[in-house]
Structure 1
Amino acid sequence: MGDGRHQSQRDSTGTAEFSGLKALFLNCTLKRSPELSHTDGLVELSRSIMAQQGVTVEILRPVDYAIATGIYPDMRNHGWDQDAWPELYQKVKAVDILVLTTPIWLGEKSSVCTQLIERLYANSADTNDTGQSVYYGRVGGCLITGNEDGAKHSAMNILYSLQHLGFVIPPQADAYWVGEAGPGPSYRDPDSGGPENAFTQRNTQIMSWNLMHLAGMIRHAGGIPAQGNQRD
């Protein structure tokens, strides 16, 4: 983002310092708070990793907000009585790391996640102080849960969408858990095996650290160089 407010650096032991970074997890569950969200269980694993490294983390459920449907920055100017998106957009602009998280329904990311990406797109014409897309300098990732197939398909769609809007995607920027095919326990259900799954834990750890590393590198570099990618 280029303003140099917080820079990732290493202490005397060579350990990376991330205390200046901010992360926002948007849990695109279909369940309003405080109803149990299985996706929140996986979010908590990543959140705890980041928080232990000094990252300031906020977790929100878009379904708790009156977000209008549409592709304009403020849908109140287009016939809607309410639109909470402008408020959430300010939160997105205030962070270094954005993680979209979603359950799987019929092999796809949730409808809430689709709506959220559409609203991110609504502001993609905004620019930062160097004339780049407003999302430049921010790092994106995703977490997915479900008891049916579709995790990799959903991750491909989410990560493509984020990079297309200007977010930077690090290596292995997704992690997921899915149960056995057909009806069965979800991630946080007793005996699901989800929280204990070594593959999911490993990939969530890798994703979380790579998001922090890349966000810190971008901060330290002063953002993405503006040569050749300014909107005007």
Structure 2
Amino acid sequence: MRAVVLNCTLKKSPEESNTDLLAQVVIDELTKKDVEVTSFRLADHEIPPGVATDLGGGDEWPNIHTLLLRSEILVFATPTWVGRPSSFAQRALERMDAMISETDDQERPVAYNRVAGVVVTGNEDGAHHVISEICGGLVDIGYTIPGQAWTYWNRGPGPGPSYSETDEGHEWSEKTGRTMAANLHAVALALAERPIPA
């Protein structure tokens, strides 16, 4: 089984990403279940805006798209900025819009029988809103969202330290991240055995 992680931090490598740190909890748990995980930090790639799979001219999204189609699990990881998903998260959803009209050999949308979940970090509140926005978009595209297929960390209302600057709330976020990974894996296995029909 394979998984793709789309890290939508605004920070380019090798700058430390709080979103990457929490997503790693989910990655580690999936790896324990023999899932092969590939992670992309979108800020490191040339991904122009648009709603097509391939925009040509150095567009790196087609490579990511190919791996999405080879994977049963998608983990969407994003920071919260002004209470919303990052601009890279929005751009990824816009590029994935093309998948709605792409079909498999049984004429189903290509995202059918794939599962997805969300990781959110931010030192202010808004995580539930971000999770809802991303899950809503992924369901439109055709992904299945298992119960409790998310984890988040935020400090609460108002500014404050980031995930990497405090231990506050880590135990809950990491436990929830491990549960997220287990639920994604379980539902991906179930769909592999009993796929959604055409």
| TM-score interval, normalised by the smaller of the two chains | over 0.9
TM-score norm. by structure 2 comes to 0.96
Tell me how far apart the structure 2 counterparts of residues 155 and 202 of structure 1 sit (CA, whole Å): 17
How far off its partner does 1:173 sit?
Answer: 1.2
Q: Describe how 1:193-232 pairs up with structure 2 within 5 A.
A: 193-194=167-168, 197-221=170-194, 223-226=195-198
Q: Which amino acid aligns with 1:208?
A: A
Q: What's 1:38 paired with? A: 18
Percent of residue pairs identical:
37
Report the secondary structure of 2:100's partner residue.
Answer: coil
Tell me how far apart the structure 1 counterparts of residues 171 and 164 of structure 2 sit (CA, whole Å): 15
Report the secondary structure of 1:170's partner residue.
Answer: coil
**Is the aligned partner of 1:134 residue 2:110?**
yes
How far off its partner does 1:122 sit?
Answer: 2.1
Q: Which has the larger radius of gyration?
A: 1
Q: Deviations over 1:158-204 (max 9, x none)?
A: 01111111001100111100014333211112xx125x623212221
Report the secondary structure of 1:210's partner residue.
Answer: helix
Tell me how far apart the structure 1 counterparts of residues 99 and 174 of structure 2 sit (CA, whole Å): 34
**Is the aligned partner of 1:26 residue 2:26?**
no
Q: What's 1:15 paired with? A: none
Q: What's 1:104 paired with? A: 80
Tell me how far apart the structure 2 counterparts of residues 185 and 203 of structure 1 sit (CA, whole Å): 21
Q: Describe how 1:162-177 pairs up with structure 2 within 5 A.
A: 162-177=138-153
Report the secondary structure of 2:47's partner residue.
Answer: coil
How far off its partner does 1:72 sit?
Answer: 1.8
Tell me how far apart the structure 2 counterparts of residues 181 and 220 of structure 1 sit (CA, whole Å): 43
Q: Which amino acid aligns with 1:109?
A: P
Q: What's 2:155 paired with? A: 179
* Unaligned residue ranges in structure 2 (runs of 5+): none
**Is the aligned partner of 1:93 residue 2:66?**
no
Q: Deviations over 1:101-149 (max 9, x none)?
A: 0000000000000000000002321101110001111101000000011
**Is the aligned partner of 1:60 residue 2:40?**
yes
Tell me the matched-pair count: 198
Which stretches of structure 1, 4 residues or more, deviate above 6 A after TM superposition?
none
- Greater helix content: 2
**Is the aligned partner of 1:72 residue 2:52?**
yes
Tell me how far apart the structure 1 counterparts of residues 156 and 102 of structure 2 sit (CA, whole Å): 43
